Chain A
């Protein structure tokens, strides 16, 4: 990946998730361009306020599962029917009921691994990824709204400062990440 240029970020820290939600709402009303909202735990009710559409990860989960299902069933059928047919005394060549357990397991296996790998990939998270940490307390008890101010003039920054003061941010900082 090409080296990503550093950004100048102005961020405010709130001490309660309800304050955060109110602040995000007023930022949206004021048409401020929020870069990211960072929280120590999943805050319910934040996504609609922030305008995040629902994750489509579960559709992928279904697709991966379907692939696993077809792969498991198809492979067993191919191995036993075509590649190396085994003649058991009078038993059917293609014993579908006894494929059910492995087909099911393959469905779950593909779905789980596929979804998890997709999750880490789309979030840009892997072992060795250097985290862009704004503040160490965001994984503890602070709720953060971050604005990208790399290209903003002083006036914009001042208005963002005013926004943070108005919405009750406990602290406001600027940081390059």
Chain B
């Protein structure tokens, strides 16, 4: 593709890579024996996964009474964790879909891993509503299926049922999008493998050959899936916010919830992508593909969405005051200065104050700051959901039913256990599939490779048609 590239464009692939280098670098992590870091991380994740399984068994065996929920505070850590994970699950589709539509080339470095992260985060999120049912084996009752009870259908007016549809659709569409993108890369790994590995990758790459017509259809499919995933990703968190916003609880019954939740989701999702990418690029030695320019771009998204979230927090307080509605005012007074004040200020600090540091280019491009702040944002976003859920419920209409809630070891284990589950899945993924989209990186090589643009670009000796317009200065 001969294309003039504006001098302001960043280099997205460092190290004068050829197509073959890209294949080599990106598929080799699946071919080598796991490193020691990987084995340690995997064992740790597996241990937490074991804890999770134990806590789930405990919950199912003993009942939901093993959690500290009570009549007043009937949603606690479980739904907090659910919303937190769903939020994290938004970045993948945002990066792959919305940035594809906006033709942001830097997405190619991180989209594959972010999509995988989405899928794993949604798996983690889905655990909580299911185990909260208590009788896990009746979980299928949430779907409308012909049954012998009438048939009796679920309540299609309930946001909780909308959630069932939204999240299952989101999960399955993300899976299709991710896997279809992965097929050509699995074929690359297949063609380098031999023996049993080759057989396995033959099955998983569906017989991909790279025919021009297939590529054309593949691109068409990716673009349409991106197009329909964009409203989908916005709808999912909107519907999650409806779980709260359509109720008549002061502090929940607000129209700002959908945009506020969506911005928060993107915010937390990008933070989690940063946490993962900073580690992955180091461990898998992908610094030349996930460059500082990628990290910089993602940090810009974090500062934007963090600021939107901050504006939403303040708007909420203003509207509570301005509404003149005492129950609403009390709910928000209580949210800020009540028994859970520490959670509110923790949230404010982590989500609104700390990302403002990213206005500084130096901090945006610092690996340590990025990693540190991404963790802070993850914590902050967890606090946000806790603040919304627990502190609102803790002060009921009747002072006699006011209550306080702190988790039991079971709830803590369930939460830390899903983190184990998440990393367990992600670490397996890094071993079996290329973490960076090989074909897509090759596709942008001539417009974003360090030998073609940027200050170190050399004139590419080979072909006149691929001479990239460099800044002549």
**Are A112 and B184 CB-contacts (below 8 A) given A98-B156, A99-B156, A119-B221?**
no
Taking the complex as formed, is B314 at the interface, i.e. its CB lies under 8 A from any CB of chain A? no
Please, which residue of chain A has its CB at the minimum distance from the CB of B221? A119
Interface string of B318-354 (1 = CB under 8 A from A): 0000000000000000000000000000000000000
Query: What residue in chain B is nearest A39 (Cβ atoms)?
Result: B210
**A133 B221 Cβ-Cβ under 8 A:** no
Bound-complex Cα distance A130 to B216 (A) = 21
Interface residues on A, range: 35 or more
Contact present for A84 and B465 (CB under 8 Å)? no
Docked pose: A35 CA to B150 CA in angstroms = 58
List, in ascending order, chain B residues with CB within 8 A of A102's CB: 156, 161-162, 165
Contacting B1 at CB < 8 Å: which of A44, A79, A83, A115? A44
Q: Are B153 and A80 in contact (CB under 8 A)?
A: yes
| B residues contacting the other copy or chain, number (CB 8 A) | 70
CB–CB A55/B220 < 8 A: yes
Say yes or no: is B208 at the interface (Cβ < 8 Å to chain A): yes
* B153-195 with Cβ < 8 A to chain A: 153, 155-157, 159, 161-162, 165-166, 169, 172-173, 176-177, 180, 183-184, 187-188, 190-192
B439/A40 in contact, CB under 8 A: yes
Kindly identify which residue among B165, B166, B191 contacts A138, using a CB–CB cutoff of 8 Å.
B191
Complex formed: what's the CA distance from A44 to B219 in Å? 10
Alpha-carbon distance between A124 and B217 when the two chains are bound, in angstroms: 12
B61 at the interface (CB under 8 A from A): no
Select from chain B the residue with minimum beta-carbon distance to A104: B235
- Do A120 and B206 touch (CB < 8 A)? yes
Residues of A within 8 A of B439 (CB): 40-42
Binding site for B on A (CB under 8 A): 16-19, 22, 36-47, 50, 52, 54-55, 57-58, 61, 65, 75-76, 79-80, 83-84, 86, 88, 91, 95, 98-99, 101-102, 104-106, 108-109, 111-113, 115-116, 119-120, 122-134, 136-141
Instruction: Write 22 A-B pairs (CB below 8 A) sorted by A numbering.
Output: A18-B466, A40-B19, A41-B440, A42-B219, A58-B224, A91-B157, A105-B169, A105-B235, A111-B224, A111-B228, A113-B176, A123-B214, A123-B217, A125-B208, A127-B204, A129-B206, A131-B187, A131-B202, A131-B205, A138-B191, A139-B188, A141-B19
Give the 6 A-B CB pairs with smallest separation, nearest first. Answer: A129-B207, A141-B19, A125-B206, A136-B191, A101-B162, A41-B439
B residues in contact (CB < 8 Å) with A: 1-2, 18-20, 23, 144, 150-153, 155-157, 159, 161-162, 165-166, 169, 172-173, 176-177, 180, 183-184, 187-188, 190-192, 202-221, 223-225, 228-229, 231-232, 235, 239, 242, 439-440, 442-443, 462-463, 465-466
